[in-house]
Structure 1
Amino acid sequence: MSDVSGQAAVVREVLPVVAARFADLVTRVPPDAPATRDWTVADTAAHVAAVATRYRRTFGGPARPPAAGVDAITVDTIAEMNNRTLREFTERDPAVLAAALRADTDAVLELTADADHARPVPWLGGSRVPLGGVLAHLLNELLVHGWDVARATRSPWPVPPREAAPFFDLFVVGMIRNDVGHLLDGPPPDDRRIAVAFRSGHTAPVTLVLHRGRVGVGDPGAPTDARVTFDPATLNLVLFGRVSRARAALTGRLRVTGRRPWRLPAFLRTVRLPTNAAPLPAG
Structure 2
Amino acid sequence: MGAVTTFDPVSEHEKTRAALAAAIPRLARLLREVPDLDAPAGVPRWSVGDVGAHLASVYLAYGSVVTADGSLDWGGILPPGELPFVERITALNATSIGLLDGEGRARLGDLLAERGETFLRGTKNLAPDTPVTAPWYGPEPTLTVAVVTGLMLSESLVHGLDIARGAGLPWPIGRDEASLVIGQSMPTMMGLALDPAKARGVRIAFDLVVKGGPRLAVVVDDGTMAVTRDAPPRAYDCRITVDPTAFLLVSFRRTPIWKAIASGRMRAGGRRPWLATRLGELVATP
State TM-score, norm by structure 1.
0.86
Q: 1:7 to 1:73 in 2, by over 3 A?
A: farther
Q: What is residue 236 of structure 2 aligned with on the other side?
A: 224
Q: Match for 1:98 among 92, 109, 114?
A: 109
- Give the secondary-structure state (helix, strand or coil) at the position aligned to 1:224: coil
Q: 1:192-231 maps to which residues of 2 (within 5 A)?
A: 192-217=202-227, 219-231=231-243
Q: Distance in 1 between matches of 2:256 and 2:52?
A: 24
| Greater displacement, 139-148 / 186-195 | 186-195
Letter in 2 for 1:197: D
Q: 1:21-100 maps to which residues of 2 (within 5 A)?
A: 21-29=26-34, 30-35=36-41, 36-62=43-69, 67=75, 69=80, 72-91=83-102, 94-100=105-111
Cα deviation for residue 244 of structure 1 reads: 0.9
RMSD: 2.4
Q: Match for 1:14 among 19, 22, 33?
A: 19
Q: What is residue 154 of structure 1 aligned with on the other side?
A: 168
Q: Is the 8 A contact 2:66 2:145 kept in 1?
A: no
Q: Distance in 2 between matches of 1:92 and 1:260?
A: 54
Query: Any gaps of 5 or more consecutive residues in structure 2?
Result: none
Q: Is the 8 A contact 1:213 1:270 kept in 2?
A: no
Residue-by-residue CA offset, 1:84-137 (whole Å, 9 max, x unaligned) = 222233346555121111111111111111111123322313323221111111
Q: 1:162 to 1:71 in 2, by over 3 A?
A: farther
Letter in 2 for 1:74: F
Residue-by-residue CA offset, 1:111-165 (whole Å, 9 max, x unaligned) = 1111111233223133232211111111111111111122233311111111111
Q: 1:110-259 maps to which residues of 2 (within 5 A)?
A: 110-123=121-134, 124-125=137-138, 126-175=140-189, 180=192, 183-217=193-227, 219-259=231-271
Q: 1:72 to 1:273 in 2, by over 3 A?
A: same
Letter in 2 for 1:41: V
Residue-by-residue CA offset, 1:40-76 (whole Å, 9 max, x unaligned) = 1111111111100111111233479964548645034
Q: 1:92 to 1:79 in 2, by over 3 A?
A: farther
Q: Is the 8 A contact 2:188 2:227 kept in 1?
A: no
Q: Distance in 2 between matches of 1:70 and 1:204?
A: 36
Q: Distance in 1 between matches of 2:200 and 2:275?
A: 11
Q: What is residue 3 of structure 1 aligned with on the other side?
A: 7
State TM-score, norm by structure 2.
0.85
1:108 to 2:114 alignment: no
Q: Distance in 1 between matches of 2:146 and 2:216?
A: 18
- Give the secondary-structure state (helix, strand or coil) at the position aligned to 1:88: coil
- Give the secondary-structure state (helix, strand or coil) at the position aligned to 1:264: helix
Q: 1:168 to 1:91 in 2, by over 3 A?
A: farther
Q: Distance in 1 between matches of 2:49 and 2:213?
A: 33
Q: Is the 8 A contact 1:121 1:129 kept in 2?
A: yes
Q: Distance in 2 between matches of 1:2 and 1:71?
A: 38
Letter in 2 for 1:215: M
Query: Any gaps of 5 or more consecutive residues in structure 1?
Result: 275-283
Q: How many percent of aligned residue pairs carry the same amino acid? A: 27
| Greater displacement, 145-154 / 41-50 | 145-154
| Greater displacement, 208-217 / 148-157 | 148-157
Q: Distance in 2 between matches of 1:194 and 1:209?
A: 6
Cα deviation for residue 2 of structure 1 reads: 7.1
Q: What is residue 278 of structure 1 aligned with on the other side?
A: none
- Give the secondary-structure state (helix, strand or coil) at the position aligned to 1:162: helix
Q: 1:72 to 1:119 in 2, by over 3 A?
A: farther
Q: Distance in 2 between matches of 1:114 and 1:93?
A: 30
Q: Distance in 2 between matches of 1:80 and 1:98?
A: 25
Q: Distance in 1 between matches of 2:22 and 2:30?
A: 12
